Amino acid sequence: MAKLSPLQNVKKLFGNKEQLLSKVADLIPANEGESREDFIKRLKYVANAKLLRLVEIGEKVKGLGGRAAIASKIVEIKAQAKDKDFAAKIAKLPLPRLLDVFQTLSRKAKPAKS
């Protein structure tokens, strides 16, 4: 069977793009000073593949406890709990980058523990 296109995945998983947009808006916070409606309006012009990726990232972040929990785990792994400036800088990273940093550090930390 052929691989489904992003539009086919959207229709299969969410029904339509409007439902996908509301799911993304629930999982990914809007920029500071931006309303939910403006955020959804801006997302209407984003490609379906990117929206599907944002849903996947948002669900992973939610499963790990949210932005603050991931940031604190990163600070623990790097053993810089006392460095408040570093913790604040990590907490301000965009969610995809934050998740990527966490996954990279946790992969590197596993072999060291063995």
Q: How far is the first Cα of the chain from the last one, in angstroms, to the nearest whole number?
A: 41
Taking residues 45-69, what's their average pLDDT?
Answer: 92
Q: Are residues 49 and 11 in the same domain?
A: yes
58 shares a domain with 74: no
Domain, as residue range, for 106: 67-113
Q: Identify whether residues 11 and 39 lie together within a single domain.
A: yes
Let me know if residue 54 belongs to a domain: yes
Q: Whole-prediction pTM value?
A: 0.81
Residues 58/24, Cβ–Cβ less than 8 Å:
yes
The percent of residues above 70 in pLDDT, for the chain, comes to 96
Average pLDDT over residues 92-107: 91
For position 13, what pLDDT does the model report? 92
Angle between helices 17-27 and 48-63 (to 10 degrees): 40
pLDDT of 37 > 70? The answer is yes
C-alpha–C-alpha distance, residues 86 and 72, integer Å: 11
Per residue in 86-99, pLDDT (tens digit) is 888 988 888 899 99
* Residue 57 sits in the same domain as residue 91: no
Q: pLDDT by residue (tens digit) across 23-36? A: 999 998 888 888 88
11 lies in the same domain as 48: yes
